[in-house]
Structure 1
């Protein structure tokens, strides 16, 4: 009996020690509220994502992309789209507007120094103006609808409310998608018809040395387009090509691309579009508030003779010489 009592006591002691040893492990599997935690013994997410590039599940449909549950690069893209793009875009666009406002306060509107002559000369033909306005109007629509995608939830949603914002965004989406084709068509036409006049020339260096006509008392010689206009042309063609290609990838997703390619296309599209908007804002400023007589070139197609002489003297000289050779009047009198 004594031996049996000792055996029972030893067995009880061993059971007690085993329970005490397993208590921490059991406690780890319980949540803060004491309920079982099914993920306590699982691999944490950070460790799991280090082992495989993305987490996938099992699906029964042919599209294997639908099996992706977690993709770490997607979080990087989300941070770019929701944080970096908002701040960067706001700084670039508002900064451009502020600089243009400052330029207007300091320089004012650049007037025709000799005043209007009362005579005009044709600068852009009808088809050239059509291609310009086709591209310009398309760009404005694309810019406004694109900015709604980026800033609409921050700027427009609190003002118009959720229902109205939803309807506006739906219309804006379709406008953005379909207007892109007219923009690309206009861009191609502009690239072709203005290519020759935007090639670099020696006179561009002289134009730059004279401050591009923004320094009073200094004349900046130029052909049909000066260096500033040529830079706008080439930058617009380059930016237009990037937003067009990336836009087509977004418009027709997963045709030869994967998720990473789509994210890269969206980043390129958004960044270049923001910079493109800033460039065109400067272009609009020069053509309207910044310079007297500049808008007339793309408005009626004719510019004042003194304006042409001050800003594009070499081009004017060639035009007048050509008209003299063909026996045409050198300029038309303004009504």
Structure 2
């Protein structure tokens, strides 16, 4: 019996080789000969290519529903990774630190823009409750988005060396969740701001005079205050930067929050580049906005903090709007003791 099995295999070997030649397997044929997509059903099994015919990437053929898993090599990914690891890091650090340095240098040179006539103690209504709610909703959510986004993006380089992996990991996880959820109030705030302030932020001919003189911010001896309406050109620039930049952030961010639902791998990479660069520009813009509303100008924070401004501030910075308030009988509305000088020291 021990000689029967080898004898049977020896007799069946020629038959197996003949069957192999009939189906075209072996014989030195190339199994990766390319064919046009759609012609595979008319092509012998040995001639079906294993990869899709793309010039810029290597995509294999898969039978599972998720076609994206067939992408084996994508050269664009190396470009995106270089941007993510180096380009974004140095770009963001340069823009943010340069903005802070310029604002600090400007403050040392110019100091706080003081009220020439001092505080009057009489208050003029500036922003209503809905307007202040829209502003603070957008402001708080954006600051949350900025801090959590920077934590996730640069934590590997800045925080891990300080905190260590075990501390940074839960911090990054919490930052990612908080970042995603903060996008909801941010968009709500953007919509409210657009609804309540768009009518006051339409560019006008008077804005050009403000732009040419930079609103008098560089006048150290005697301030120049061009007559403006409710918002001057600088405030309009901030408004449209927030609306357009915030919209770009929201759209690109929601694309990233729903990976591959709207686009493929390349689209996700492009969306990340747009989202991150828009965020860097927005952070720089908001830093300037925070500066002029706090240290940069006496009495400016009262507008959004209290909803009303000192009468002299209204006269000096928004004379056209102040005259309209006088004609409407809205000023002065309250007598009181002039508040402190915002804690800023003049130069």
TM-score class, shorter: 0.7 to 0.9
Q: What is the match of residue 121 of structure 2?
A: 118
1:232-286 CA distance string (max 9 Å, x none)? 1011111011111000100112123111111110000000100100000000000
> Corresponding residue for 1:270?
276
1:67 to 56, 70, 80: 70
State whether residues 122 and 332 of structure 2, in contact with CA within 8 Å, keep that contact through their aligned partners in structure 1.
no
Is the contact made by 2:311 and 2:332 (CA closer than 8 Å) also made in structure 1?
no
The SS at the match of 1:210 is: helix
- Residue 157 of structure 1 pairs with residue 157 of structure 2: no
Q: TM-score if structure 1 supplies the norm length?
A: 0.81
Query: How many pairs are equivalent?
Result: 284
Superposed, 1:1-335 pairs within 5 Å as 52-57=55-60, 59-214=62-217, 215=219, 216-217=221-222, 218-323=224-329, 330-335=332-337
How far residue 104 of structure 1 moved from its aligned partner, in angstroms, is 0.2
Q: What is the TM-score of this pair, normalised by structure 2?
A: 0.79
Report the CA distance between 1:206 and its aligned residue. Answer: 2.4
Deviation at 1:60, TM superposition (A): 4.7
Q: Distance in 2 between matches of 1:193 and 1:274?
A: 26
Deviating 4+ runs (over 4 angstroms): none
Q: Provide the rounded CA distance (Å) in 1 between the counterparts of 2:208 and 2:300.
A: 22
Give the Å deviation of 1:213: 2.5
Root-mean-square deviation (CA, aligned residues, Å) is 1.8
1:135-175 CA-to-partner distances (Å, cap 9, x unmatched) read 00000000001111221111111111101100000000000
Which structure has the highest helix share of the two? 1
For the residues of structure 1 that align with 2:148 and 2:314, how far apart are their CA atoms? 36
TM-superposition CA deviations, 1:190-212 (whole Å, max 9, x none):
01110010011222122223330
Given the superposition, is the C-alpha separation of residues 117 and 62 from structure 1 closer, same or farther in structure 2, using an over 3 Å criterion?
A: same
Aligned to 1:4: none
Task: Return the alpha-carbon distance in structure 1 between the equivalents of residues 83 and 272 of structure 2.
Answer: 10
Q: Report the Cα distance in structure 1 between the residues aligned to 2:59 and 2:207, rounded to whole angstroms.
A: 57
Deviation at 1:52, TM superposition (A): 3.2
